[in-house]
Amino acid sequence: MKHKIVVLSGSIRFWDKIQEMHEKLELENSYVVVGITPHVMSRDFTPEEEDLLDELHREKIQLADALYVVNVDGYIGNSTRSEIEFAKQLGKEIIYLEPVETLA
């Protein structure tokens, strides 16, 4: 049985919710979850490191079946919006924690 692979996306201000969803999606939905790298919370990055982490996250999206957006209270920041657009360009399924009206 092949399990759906999902990449988590969302603002690190919702780190606890992202971690909660990682566990919930794996246990309740039997998804293979690729999360946000935990060290993003522990230090500041150089612009080069930020670019590298963005590139690696896009590669995760390319490998995945779907992007799971942790949009607490409907919040979707600029970085997450760009990941959504990237996933759409690749024809990936986009799943949202909370319903969205539009992403204008």
Q: How high is the pLDDT of residue 23? A: 92
* Residues 53/37, Cβ–Cβ less than 8 Å: yes
| Series of mean pLDDT values for 10-residue runs along the chain (104 residues) | 90 90 91 77 79 90 96 93 96 94 58
Q: How high is the pLDDT of residue 90? A: 98
Angle, in degrees to the nearest 10, between helices 47-63 and 78-89: 40
Domains belonging to the chain, first-starting first, are: 5-96 (3.40.50)
Q: How high is the pLDDT of residue 30? A: 86
Q: How high is the pLDDT of residue 48? A: 92
Q: How high is the pLDDT of residue 83? A: 94
What element of type H or E holds 69?
Answer: strand 66-69
